[in-house]
Amino acid sequence: MSVLIDTDSLGRRLATGERIVLLDVRWKLGDPFGHDHYLAGHLPGAAYVDLETELAGPPSPSAGRHPLPSVDVLQSAARRWGVRAGDTVVAYDDLGGLSAARAWWLLRWAGLTDVWLLDGGLAAWTAAGGALETGTVTPPAGDVVLRAGALPTLTASAAAALAVDGVLLDARAGERFRGETEPVDPRAGHIPGAVSAPATDNLDPTGRFLPASELRARFAALGIDGSRPVGAYCGSGVTAAHELAALAVAGIDATLYPGSWSQWSADPDRPAATGP
């Protein structure tokens, strides 16, 4: 599965005039100014992606804070970004891929295969001497056709079962997993049987993904040995996509629970575990 492209490879390919659609997916929990950050400086030619409205459907207690968008909404957005049939797509952010991975996973879920994350994101691009441009980019409309369901997903019940019969990773910060704090969702804690695996631990200090060998060792230490199925969730299905990207780099197939803790914790009939 395609996952990462480094800044040197991307720069060389762009320099040859190869057609590559660049997506700027700057979003952070508690920071509503992603578009302003984009306007202040982005990779040349990159289109801005609004995670809240283009990579998610309307929030609700029954579906979570960032449910999957309808394929029609995602297709309209992808065409606005300029994506055509057969295009290479590269998504990036300024957060080690923690938000851009949502675009990577969603486009693959919708049937695209030539989709990549820029390893290290904006910081790696500028550190390598890459230029930035300001203002809005409005690409010519694309014609891509998307079809939902190319990747599997988990329901709440399936996630509960996987926590028993497989390995269910919780990509949130450890203190949220343990139930010590819960800044946004109805209850603190985690899905019973889940394993804490903060997505930030997939990265090195520069914001690049750890090498595949180190990621394999990380996940092996969490109980992933190839004998059982693997799934991942987070607060609302955003950083769990980063977990899936890291697992893919390590050569491990895994399934996303899109509703994640925001859906689970809103259901009073679902138990919440606390502690390590």
Q: What are phi and psi of 123, to 5 degrees?
A: -65, -40
Is 137 among the catalytic positions? no
Q: For residues 143 and 206, what is the distance between their CA atoms, to the nearest angstrom?
A: 36
CB 102 within 8 A of CB 55: yes
Q: For residues 122 and 131, what is the distance between their CA atoms, to the nearest angstrom?
A: 10
The one catalytic residue among 110, 169, 234, 249: 234
Of the candidates 146, 156, 230, which has an alpha carbon nearest to the alpha carbon of residue 192? Answer: 156
Q: For residues 214 and 126, what is the distance between their CA atoms, to the nearest angstrom?
A: 26
Three-state secondary structure call for residue 104: helix
On the 0-12 / 13-18 / 19+ scale of CB atoms within 10 A, 252 is: middle
**Which residue type occupies 175?**
E
What residues are annotated to the active site? 234
